[in-house]
Amino acid sequence: LAKTTQPISMDSYEGQEVNITCSHNNIATNDYITWYQQFPSQGPRFIIQGYKTKVTNEVASLFIPADRKSSTLSLPRVSLSDTAVYYCLVGAHNTDKLIFGTGTRLQVFP
């Protein structure tokens, strides 16, 4: 399982776009990049997953450069309710388990 590195914390204000970058220099050919979100007092929740280029859903966008050694989770126009910890995970589709790192604690201010 590839190791990931992401900022420990980030601050933002309501209405701004937030970009959280994750480094995964040792990503393997079969690895996918997945992001989870964890609100206080809740379990993590899947946000988005991608392999290359760009993926977008109703919650976020995921940008993956051609070398795939990093990825950026983009949250458009954040609100106070986006305050959470965001985890970047890397693993192959046939990998059973997930390894969560320390995550990025996003604090959104009014």
Partner 1 sequence: DAGVIQSPRHEVTEMGQEVTLRCKPISGHDYLFWYRQTMMRGLELLIYFNNNVPIDDSGMPEDRFSAKMPNASFSTLKIQPSEPRDSAVYFCASSLVSSGVAYNEQFFGPGTRLTVL
Contact footprint for partner 1 (CB under 8 A): 32, 34, 41-46, 48-49, 87, 91, 93-103
How many whole angstroms separate alpha carbon 60 and alpha carbon 54?
11
Shortest Å distance, C-beta 48 to partner 1? 8
Beta strand 61-64 with 84-92 is unpaired
- 14 vs 99, beta carbon nearer partner 1: 99
- 29 vs 41, beta carbon nearer partner 1: 41
- 21 vs 49, beta carbon nearer partner 1: 49
- Structure token pair of residue 45: 């929740």
Whether residue 104 contacts residue 84, with contact meaning beta carbons closer than 8 Å, is answered with no
